[in-house]
A and B are shown apart, each in its own frame.
Chain A
Amino acid sequence: MLMKVRKKINREMLGYLYILPWILGFMLFQLYPLMASLFYAFTDFSITNTPVFVGFANFKTMFFNDPLFYKSLGNTLKYVFMSVPLKIVTALLVAVILNQKLKGINFYRTIYYIPSIFGGSVAISILWRFLFMDSGMVNRLLGVFHIPQVQWLSSPKVALFTLSLLSVWQFGSSMVLFLAALKQVPEDLYEAAKIDGGSGIHNFFTITLPMISSVLFFNVLMQLVNAFQDFTGAFVITNGGPLNSTYLFALKLYDEAFTYYKMGYACALSWVLFLLILAFTALFFRFSEAVTYYEDGGDF
């Protein structure tokens, strides 16, 4: 009996041993910074000084005495609501096209995934800058077709939209997931619909979309969480300008931490962002329970 228990414990310990590297990494690089940032959020900490506890002062400043906080929050919300739907629709559209039985389809699948590999890196951001500046490629192309030119990056009204285009361009990872989901939709449903006289578009909305709703949900959620934290494009291309129109929350956070060296305030900001994302995610989960269809009943 005792042997058996010991053996069982040993087996369990072995399991923990296997995941120990991950646990250590998680505690050191995720959990500790997370907890530390919570602590610093209540301090005045200018990185080279010792932190001084200030209670809720950082949050008070943020909500009552920092116009750029609201400005950056507004920008971020606008950015999220522009980039996420655009990106999801693009990804789904391309996935549907790539799901067709076409010649050389594997080649196209690779090609369309490439932008996601490049991602929103610094180099791509710089490329974006040269494409979309007033005398850039995009405007020249428009000029050829006698379409009026747009101040893509230098107009405060348009710049944020141009940045969300950069994010839309990286639709590849969502697309791959959509593609996998589309392949999972049972063929017999379409056959049944065909017999009943269903058309293509009609089938898409009544069969395809409900069947891939769980993946759609997952994709939207991931992109939502990512978009709230987007940084590189706004940092490299416009640095928040013109007129702070692309001053995203992540940029504000960066400036507070690494330009003004107000680490405590920056940590407080990051917790506000965290709670905001959490709230959106929770809300989204509530909403999705009603509309998502799971073939296996939806139990995790």
Chain B
Amino acid sequence: MKKRGLSTALAVTLAAALLGGCTGTAGSKETAKTTEATAQPTTAATAQSSGTSEKAKITDEPVTLRFAWWGSDARHEATLNAIKKYQEIHPNVTIEGEYQGYDGYQQKLMTQIAGKTEPDLMQLDYNWYPDLEAQSNIFLDLKGTKTVDLFVYSENVLKNYCSIGDKVIAVPMGINGFGIMINKSFFEKHNLPLDTKWTWEKVVQEGKRIHEENPSDYLLGIESGTSTGGIGPFVVSAYLYSKTGQYWANEDDYTINSSKEDLTSAFTILKDLFDSGAAQPLGEASLFTGQMEQNPKWLNGELGFTIDWSATVGKYKSAVGEENFSVGMPPFAENGDNQNISYKPAMVLAVSSRSPHTDVAADFVDWLMNDPEAVKILGTQRSVPASQKASEILEQANAIDPDIAQMCAFSSENPAPPVPLIQGNTEIADVVKDICEQVVYGQLSPEAAADKFLSDVQAKMAVLKAAK
């Protein structure tokens, strides 16, 4: 008896200890780095010779700010250099960069906000706003600052992508165009003109022919994805929007706009893409979720194109080399109702209202977005700058990546209105993703998928509506 009591106790503690211990692994995927860009000791003379120092100094006291962003190495380097420059001009200010890849960034930031330890300056993505709505008072209303010039940004962008309620909580850092990332060598090999205007039907047709001729070649590479990419948003939702001219979700009353017929045709296209061999098998492509540029097929020129935002041009281009890369418009639905292209701020920059130095932070924001030197250092690491002033500076300096400029030009000719936030909600997106996968793996016919979409997505929307 004694032994049993002991062993049970032992079992409990063991399980408890191990369960407690497992929490450590959760964050291991994130490759967070924290660095302290050391303040350069500069003399007052050099500081005064610089252009921006004419502005009245906000404070002489030593100020330390934390600035968090996500990105690739090139973006990190550019941002750190800009910080260094600011510190040269303002020797009393130290700005610590907290930078990492996209994976795990939002998780970290949300945890920091919950623990009241968020950085003073935060790079955000606008589709996180629903998660932050209840906390919108932690962001400084940039309308109320004297230093941040809001007139350099488009009023629509500020209203649609940078505001919660009537507060402007952030400034847009860059403007993202949307389209396809083209592997030039693949296009040349298969005699596809770079400026082909793709429809989804044509992708299936051409992709099928190519795959039949060269079984290792696939015209399209796309993953199962998340709320921010993959077959849900980039194939099914994109097809529906282009075919019907409206988004499938209705933001106002959380209902579905699309009819069963429209959904069926969207799922049919999705099925055909994978059944025909136009798209790389989903399981394989999904191994490179969010990092399609590392897909060996992309590197070897066995993948024709993938779909993404212009801010990611850099990584695709450097993977295959400049001479092998090009961009194009995204595929549309054949005989669809519109050919609008998504167009949204690449990232936005917010200031924490809980920062003890919001004035310095606001000054830094305005400097980073508009100062000629800062603009030149940052270049197009966050796509084309959203600030009118900054993009003019870069244009004059001829420093805008032509591919990014091209994508933004496609998008800005026919910009699509903002995607309803409910459509990008992570829980909804995962329900959609599951249905899409079942179609691709042949577990659901397109028609059954349309039915399931109407019932499951609507049910999830109802839950979210009730929780609101």
A residues touching B (Cβ–Cβ < 8 Å)?
29-30, 33-34, 44, 46-49, 121-122, 129, 133-135, 151, 153-156, 159, 221, 225-226, 229, 231-232, 235-239, 241-244, 250, 254-255, 258-261, 270, 273-274, 277-278, 281-282, 285, 289, 298-300
- Assess the A49–B134 pair: CB atoms within 8 A: yes
Decide yes or no: A30 and B16 within 8 Å by CB, A241-B286, A242-B437 being known contacts.
yes
Decide yes or no: A134 and B6 within 8 Å by CB, A48-B134, A231-B26, A232-B25 being known contacts.
no
- Assess the B113–A260 pair: CB atoms within 8 A: no
- Assess the A33–B110 pair: CB atoms within 8 A: no
> Is B3 part of the binding interface, using a Cβ–Cβ cutoff of 8 Å?
yes
> Is B12 part of the binding interface, using a Cβ–Cβ cutoff of 8 Å?
yes
Q: Interface residue tally of chain B, by bracket?
A: 35 or more
Which residues B1-37 have CB closer than 8 A to chain A?
A: 3-4, 6-8, 10-12, 14-20, 22-23, 25-26, 28-29
List the 5 closest pairs (A to B, CB-CB), nearest first: A154-B283, A242-B283, A281-B11, A258-B107, A229-B22
> Majority SS of interface residues in chain B?
helix
> Is B154 part of the binding interface, using a Cβ–Cβ cutoff of 8 Å?
no
Q: How far is the CB of A46 from chain B (nearest CB, A)?
A: 8
Q: Which residues of A contact B113 (CB under 8 A)?
A: 48
Q: How far is the CB of B457 from chain A (nearest CB, A)?
A: 14
Q: Which residues of A contact B14 (CB under 8 A)?
A: 221, 225, 281
12 CB contacts below 8 A, A to B, read: A30-B16, A47-B111, A155-B283, A159-B283, A241-B224, A243-B441, A258-B110, A259-B426, A274-B16, A281-B11, A289-B4, A300-B6
Decide yes or no: A270 and B19 within 8 Å by CB, A231-B25, A278-B12, A285-B7 being known contacts.
yes
- Assess the A134–B114 pair: CB atoms within 8 A: no
> Is B334 part of the binding interface, using a Cβ–Cβ cutoff of 8 Å?
no
> Is B401 part of the binding interface, using a Cβ–Cβ cutoff of 8 Å?
no
Q: Which residues of A contact B437 (CB under 8 A)?
A: 241-244
Q: How far is the CA of A281 from the CA of B14 in the complex (A)?
A: 9
- Assess the B131–A298 pair: CB atoms within 8 A: no
- Which of B3, B20, B434 interacts with A298 by CB under 8 Å? B3
- Assess the A153–B134 pair: CB atoms within 8 A: no
Q: Which residues of A contact B443 (CB under 8 A)?
A: 243
> Is B246 part of the binding interface, using a Cβ–Cβ cutoff of 8 Å?
no
Q: How far is the CA of A231 from the CA of B18 in the complex (A)?
A: 13
Additional 16 contacts, C-beta under 8 A, given A133-B296, A231-B22, A261-B110: A30-B16, A44-B467, A48-B131, A48-B134, A133-B284, A156-B283, A225-B14, A229-B18, A231-B26, A232-B28, A238-B286, A242-B224, A242-B441, A258-B107, A259-B430, A278-B11
Q: Which residues of B contact A250 (CB under 8 A)?
A: 22
- Assess the A236–B29 pair: CB atoms within 8 A: yes
Q: How far is the CB of A128 from chain B (nearest CB, A)?
A: 10
- Assess the B441–A281 pair: CB atoms within 8 A: no
Q: Which residues of A contact B6 (CB under 8 A)?
A: 300
- Return the chain A residue nearest B135 by Cβ: A48
- Assess the B287–A238 pair: CB atoms within 8 A: yes
- Return the chain B residue nearest A235 by Cβ: B29
Q: How far is the CA of A226 from the CA of B4 in the complex (A)?
A: 23
Q: How far is the CA of A255 from the CA of B117 in the complex (A)?
A: 23
Q: How far is the CA of A34 from the CA of B43 in the complex (A)?
A: 54
> Is B132 part of the binding interface, using a Cβ–Cβ cutoff of 8 Å?
yes
Q: Which residues of B contact A273 (CB under 8 A)?
A: 19
> Is B281 part of the binding interface, using a Cβ–Cβ cutoff of 8 Å?
yes
> Is B282 part of the binding interface, using a Cβ–Cβ cutoff of 8 Å?
yes
Q: Which residues of A contact B287 (CB under 8 A)?
A: 129, 133, 153-154, 237-238
- Which of A226, A255, A260, A300 interacts with B18 by CB under 8 Å? A226
Q: How far is the CA of A122 from the CA of B25 in the complex (A)?
A: 10
Q: How far is the CA of A259 from the CA of B114 in the complex (A)?
A: 15
- Assess the B282–A285 pair: CB atoms within 8 A: no
- Return the chain B residue nearest A250 by Cβ: B22
- Assess the B11–A122 pair: CB atoms within 8 A: no
Q: Which residues of B contact A44 (CB under 8 A)?
A: 467
Interface centre among B11, B14, B289 (most CB of A within 10 A): B11
